[in-house]
Amino acid sequence: MTQTDKTIAVVKGLIMDGVAKANSGHPGGAMSSADYATILFSEFLNFNPDDPQWFNRDRFILSAGHESMLLYSLLHLNGFISIEDIKNFRQFGSLTPGHPEVHLTPGVEATTGPLGQGLAMSVGFATAEAYLREKLGADVMDHYTYVLSSDGDLQEPIAMGAAALAGLWNLGKLIVFYDSNKIQLAGPTCKADCTDHRKVFEGLCWQVLEVDGHNHDEIRKAIRGAQMETGKPTLIIGHTTMAKGCASMEGSHKTHGEPLKADEIKATKKKLGLPEEDFYVPGDVVAEYRARFDGLRKNAADWRAMVDGKLSDKDFAKMWGHVTKPRPELSIEWPEFTPGESMATRKAWGTCLDAVMESLPTLVGGSADLDPSNQTANFRNTYGDFAVDGYGARNLAFGVREFNMAAIMNGIQLHGGLLPFGATFLTFSDYCRNAIRMSALQELPVLYVFTHDSFWVGEDGPTHQPIEHVSSLRLIPGLIDLRPADANETKVCLDIALKQEKMPSTLFLTRQGLPILDPAEFPAILDGPRRGGYVLKDCDGTPDLILVASGSEVSLCLETAKLFKRKVRVVSMPSAKLFDDQPESYKNDVLPPEVTARAAAEAGRTPLWHKYVGLNGVVLGVDHFGASAPGKTLSDKYGFTPENFARMIREKY
């Protein structure tokens, strides 16, 4: 038995013991991938043993997140987590949850539960590396992005879309190992898939290498071959056996999602040359595994000294400052807008983007093939399409791939150093939704720009007219909803989004023009959105009636208020999330409990608004699908007029 064989056997022992102690987990795939992952970590992976967040480290993304015990075992050998952490696998409050979580465990690069998204996020990692390498120099940014993927990953369509972009973008430092054990939870993969992955990935402009995933020399040769190919991403297809090394259950789909029985573990340890001891990690394995750590530390220290030396170059220092500056410290000069003019908030977003894109060189992103509609065309024309026009180009031409766009943005944000945004129509946020959820779960401050936010889309009809989407996205914990009332609120909402540290933001923007409100008349508009909801227009004393709205319906409320002789307060609520997070005292100042005459308006589903106007409050909204007709026609038909809104209120109060 070689030292590598012994280390792999120890890793497999930890996998079996950790899953068995938790009585929950996925040992089979972790064992089939153990040869590749252990060799990668112990011989190839460049990292700093003293700092899991060292900036120029190689990134390893376990896209097959169910194989988490494999990753935790290797992170233990790295010294990042303890044996007690391994023993607490899948327990409440532990550093070793069922699927890796980036904000919990040192050495975990991405939260990978939903299959396919890890691979898609890895494209974002590699994109960030390529852009920063171009801007900072290959001596500063020069690392690989390694991925371990499974049959299930490649069955998720998001993987193919992300792979298509990686191939188009020639991401040569992206290396994916596909653990092809031909087993999934329900049985053999042949029952669900007939894909020739070599043909598919070669057709997507990848280098494809095939190896025996248990032959250590072939694994090493493939990794070196992948590193040598700089013009294409590489897929290493590792033909493996599920639960490799098991005494009697090799190849069984039952090992995919079930702990091995005690007698099977005992027999398997004997077969692997391990003692029966639980969580066995001998000193010689640790010593051999960490033999290169001093060299890794020196490499990281030399890199740090080199970067410090380059800071004397003003151009480098300026770019390095942008890359490393905390988001709350961003200084952004937003444009001014002319009160009284009419401007769609999507146009206001485009104007803001044009105004700040030069001063924010780390701002990268694009549209899902809707550049003119999403107002990103000038950004694209100014800075070019990433990779196609060079790696310093900043527009990411995602194509009609909304889900991929969202996951790739997550990867860019996880990598660090850049400010990613992505844009599409609001109705297509459904395609992005699980990646948006993963943005929030991973505490990633990415920016989602959703235009065409209501039935005012008009003639495109109900397929393109959002109804439930804003309310639906508000259900995701930790996600900031931003639906600005005009151009001035739009720039404040953008400032909120770009200065976030942990929460993603969704910006909901109109196609139709809205009146630009005058800050001289409505001074609260310049800062009020930061608290989610605020008093835009007030009355003397305690109001008789409070009107609440977001987005395009704020102007409707202002016009409706003029139709009443009683005292009316108008509250703009661009963000229900930010308002809900305010102290109770502030919320009561904006919406005094004693004022029960309340009405709300939003061009979408109505139920959420009863939270603010009461169960018996008036809500003007849309609880049905739209129709194909001019937006003004639909507005009249659906009652979004001051006269109709006032009538509804008078009938109630």
Dihedral angle of Cα 384, 390, 391, 392, to the nearest 10 degrees: -50
Contact (CB, 8 A) for 650 and 485: no
CA atoms within 13 A on the CB side of 101: 14
Q: Provide the 3-class DSSP secondary structure of residue 430.
A: helix
Residue 258 known to be catalytic: no
How far is Cα 415 from Cα 244, in angstroms, rounded to an integer? Answer: 33
Q: What letter represents residue 285's amino acid?
A: V
Q: Is 115 annotated as a binding residue?
A: yes
Using CA atoms, how far residue 389 sits from 131, 356, 362, 395, in Å, is: 12, 21, 17, 10
216 is in an annotated binding site: no
- 452 appears as a binding residue in the annotation: yes
Q: Is 467 annotated as a binding residue?
A: no
Element (H, E) at 619: strand 618-620
The region, left, alpha or beta by phi > 0 then psi within -120 to 50, assigned to residue 245 is left
The residues, ordered by sequence, that sit 6+ positions from 125 with a Cβ below 8 Å of its Cβ are 59, 61, 109, 110, 145, 174, 411, 412, 414, 415
Tell me whether residue 239 is annotated as binding: no
Furthest-apart CA atoms within the chain: distance in Å: 90
17 is in an annotated binding site: no
495 in a known ligand binding site = no
How many angstroms separate the CA atoms of 469 and 146, rounded? 35
User: What distance in Å separates the CA atoms of residue 387 and residue 396, rounded to the nearest whole number?
Assistant: 9
* Residue 464 assigned as binding residue: yes
15 labeled binding residue: no
- Any known ligand binding at 346? yes
212 is in an annotated binding site: no
What are the helix (H) ranges across 23-144? Answer: 27-32, 34-39, 68-78, 83-87, 117-136
Q: Where are the beta strands (DSSP E) in 129-168?
A: 145-150
Q: Are 389 and 84 in contact (CB under 8 A)?
A: no
Residue 164 C-alpha from the chain's centroid: 19
Question: Does the annotation list 183 as a binding residue?
Answer: yes
Contact 501, 442 (CB under 8 A): no
Confirm if 242 and 269 have CB atoms less than 8 A apart.
Answer: no
Q: Is 114 annotated as a binding residue?
A: yes
The answer on whether 532 is annotated among ligand-binding residues is no
Is 373 annotated in some ligand binding site?
Answer: yes
Closest CA to 127 of 368, 362, 387: 387
Name the catalytic one among 402, 489, 553, 602.
402
Share in percent of the chain as helix, strand, coil (round to 5):
45, 15, 40
CA–CA dist 130, 142 (Å, integer) = 8
> What letter does residue 513 receive in the DSSP assignment?
-
Give Cα 587 distance to the centre of its chain. Answer: 30
Query: What are the catalytic residues?
Result: 402
Binding site for substrate, by residue number, is 26, 256, 346, 373, 452, 460, 464, 511
Task: Detail the residues annotated as belonging to a binding site.
Answer: 26, 66, 113-115, 151-152, 181, 183, 256, 346, 373, 428, 452, 460, 464, 511
Annotated binding-site positions for thiamine diphosphate: 66, 113-115, 152, 181, 256, 428
Annotated binding-site positions for Mg(2+): 151, 181, 183
